[in-house]
Amino acid sequence: MAIDPTMPVLIVDDYKTMLRIIRNLLKQIGFEDVDEAADGSEALGKMRDKRYGLVISDWNMEPMTGIELLREVRADEKLNRTPFIMVTAESKTENVIAAKKAGVNNYIVKPFNAETLKAKIDAVFGE
């Protein structure tokens, strides 16, 4: 499936600076339609109102974490096909395994650049 840079992307992080960084990286690789959420529950609400082509979520957030958001998305038959990339500062093997088991499409360890983000998105969409 080819990547459509016009598809809406939802980025989820409780750290405003990280949201700005990811938004700028997405813009560098051609994505313009980017929405933000400060935690998993806000993201879930937005996902129920709008169909996103991709979700990029931080793992560590309160009150709903990225892994909890991922599990909710995968359990919802209207949302469960949404491509999902997890972002975290943790590179622990058990976290990667937990994310894979929960149905994540890809995993990015912070810090990362536009090239890494593009490669991870390309991998999700089979480029």
Domain boundaries, the chain: 9-124
Q: What is the pLDDT of residue 92?
A: 87
Q: What percent of the chain has pLDDT over 70?
A: 98
Q: What is the pLDDT of residue 91?
A: 80
Q: What is the pLDDT of residue 3?
A: 82
Q: Is the pLDDT of residue 1 over 80?
A: no
Average pLDDT for 94-109 = 94
* Structure tokens belonging to residue 24: 């700028």
Tell me: the pLDDT tens digits for 50-67?
Answer: 999 999 999 999 999 999
Q: What is the pLDDT of residue 127?
A: 67
* Structure tokens belonging to residue 2: 């080819």
Class of the CATH-defined domain 9-124: alpha beta
Average pLDDT for 3-17 = 95
Distances (CA, A) of 8 to 31, 53, 62, 102, 104: 8, 6, 24, 23, 18
Q: Lowest-pLDDT range, 38-47, 68-77, 87-96, 108-117?
A: 87-96
| DSSP letter assigned to residue 125 | T
d(CA 31, CA 89): 23
CB 13 within 8 A of CB 57: yes
Q: What is the pLDDT of residue 44?
A: 97
